[in-house]
Amino acid sequence: MKTLDAVSSTIVCTDRGIVENTVIAKLSDAPVFVHLDAHCLVVEKPSGLLCVPGRGPDKQDCLAARVQALVADALVVHRLDMATSGLWLMARGADMQRRLSRAFAEREVSKRYVAVVAGRLDAPGAAIGGWSTIDLPLAADWPNRPRRIVDLQTGKPSITRWRVLGHEAAATRVELEPVTGRSHQLRVHLQALGHPILGDTLYAPQEVQERAPRLLLHASGLRLAHPAGEAPLDLSSPATF
């Protein structure tokens, strides 16, 4: 893992045989690089920071801008919710952006998350290898945007695999694998099971919101074929909660 929290730093791109020198001021909020090569990069996204700029001058600070200040050709491929932390992938250059966007669209990117949910959640007896599946279509809750809801009539197909990692005090730690990638999918699916994520200010009741200082959802695993044909990427990031 490489953190650019220093007066100067050197990034080596061995496949191009070049060295990029970046000189920056000391920043406590500098991006933490988990992977960096000439074609793509992965950084650790902190909870509470936007991936891309929002609307209004107060929402222009975002992880994409911080990364692009250091790696000018970094481009957005996917997003994580503002409240979610963990692994975030970016492309380097338009060609790599097209390739990685296609990989996401064709479900060739495997993502894993860790969450802590309210109550005791047990896997059903039919779970295979400990994994169960939530298959509930999701749609925008137009009167209450940006919230999403389960809508059996007009919702888009949405599938999440999940398994129990352990039980804690009035809570359960779970691992999640989104098969589809709908907005707020993991949060709404767990709410639909009756076990909202601790700290979820959109989908949890007040007392569950107050049990954590942030949303306890972390993008912990990322696995995909390298967009330029190099060794596959298989990255992990432990949750800090």
Give the side-chain half-sphere CA count within 13 A for 18: 5
Evaluate whether 223 touches 212 at the Cβ level (below 8 Å). no
Q: Which contiguous run of DSSP H or E holds residue 64? A: helix 63-68
C-alpha to C-alpha distance for 83 and 48, rounded to whole angstroms = 5
Write down how long the chain is: 241
Dihedral Cα 94, 226, 8, 19, nearest 10 deg: -80
Handedness of CA 180, 188, 241, 69 (dihedral sign): positive
Is 5 an active-site residue? no
Handedness of CA 204, 79, 180, 147 (dihedral sign): positive
165 alpha-carbon distance from chain centroid: 19
Task: Give the closest residue to 23 by CA, choosing from 6, 39, 44, 40.
Answer: 6
Catalytic residue among 58, 73, 81, 95: 81
What's the alpha-carbon Rg for the chain, to the nearest Å?
Answer: 19
C-alpha to C-alpha distance for 149 and 144, rounded to whole angstroms = 10
Residue whose token pair is 């298959």:
135
* Residues labelled as active-site residues: 81
